[in-house]
Structure 1
Amino acid sequence: MKKYIIVGFLIVALLLVAYLTFVIAAIKIVVGSIFLIIFALALIGLWITWKKKTED
């Protein structure tokens, strides 16, 4: 009986670690996407500013 409790505990621990790994990875992807969007908007703003200065 003790063996089944240990195996069950290890399976629960494995599922918990897998879940936390997925959640942390998803959070990192979301944060990275937000920073990528901010960078792209800044780059577009810089390009528009450069275009306006070269047209004058």
Structure 2
Amino acid sequence: PICIAKTQYSLSDDKSKPRILRDFKITVTDAKLSAGAGFIVLYCGSVLVMPGMPKKN
């Protein structure tokens, strides 16, 4: 599966255009593999993500 990290204000990656519902392009700025979880994360635009929780020993 693919997870897309983007703004919550728009379906596109541009938060200044909240009403675009079709015919838009998404710019992927980074991609990371989460092999343990079994998915790929695509980062779009200038998105801030929270770090994961530390492992218990």
Question: Normalized against structure 2, the TM-score is what?
Answer: 0.14
| Structure label with greater radius of gyration | 1
Greater helix content = 1
Structure with the higher fraction of residues in strand conformation: 2
Larger RCO of the pair (alpha carbons < 8 Å, separation 6+): 2
Q: Name the TM-score, length of structure 1 as normaliser.
A: 0.14
